Amino acid sequence: MVSLDAAQLNMECNSWRETLRSYRNEMGQLREKLQQLANGQKDKEILTEVEHYHNQFYIQQINIHDLKQAIKLHDRKLSAEVSSPGNNLSEDTLNEHEDLHTQYEVLEHTLSELRSEFQHFLAKA
């Protein structure tokens, strides 16, 4: 039963990492749109917003990378614990998984809000 749980946790980790790769690519695409908008722009209000979104996309790409790396390390820890004698996942590892899940959900919410705000900005710019 424990190995089945570990396999499920491993699948969740892989799914999260794949989604984070997708988000990383999306942030890159949004930065490209922002760059296109900024080219030749002289309106100071718009340029201030451009700087804000540029910073936000950069920060979120770092957050995506950091969470992806934390999930990767956690996934390795899962595999190591299952391979070890006793074939058991520790309570710490299970708690860490829950914490990573929470971080993942918070990041998804943040990215969704950023995406929505940026689309609104593009519509009015």
* Domain residue limits at 23: 2-124
Q: What is the per-residue pLDDT for 4? A: 52
Q: How far is 2 from 9, CA to CA, in rounded Å? A: 10
Q: How far is 75 from 9, CA to CA, in rounded Å? A: 8
Q: What is the per-residue pLDDT for 89? A: 87
Q: What is the per-residue pLDDT for 83? A: 85
- The series of mean pLDDT values per 10 residues for the chain, 125 residues long, is 73 97 97 94 94 97 98 95 82 95 98 98 91
Q: What is the per-residue pLDDT for 84? A: 81
Q: What is the per-residue pLDDT for 30? A: 97
How many domains does the structure of the chain reveal? 1
Q: What is the per-residue pLDDT for 6? A: 86
Q: Is 45 exposed, middle or buried (0-12, 13-18, 19+ CB in 10 A)?
A: exposed
Q: What is the per-residue pLDDT for 1? A: 38
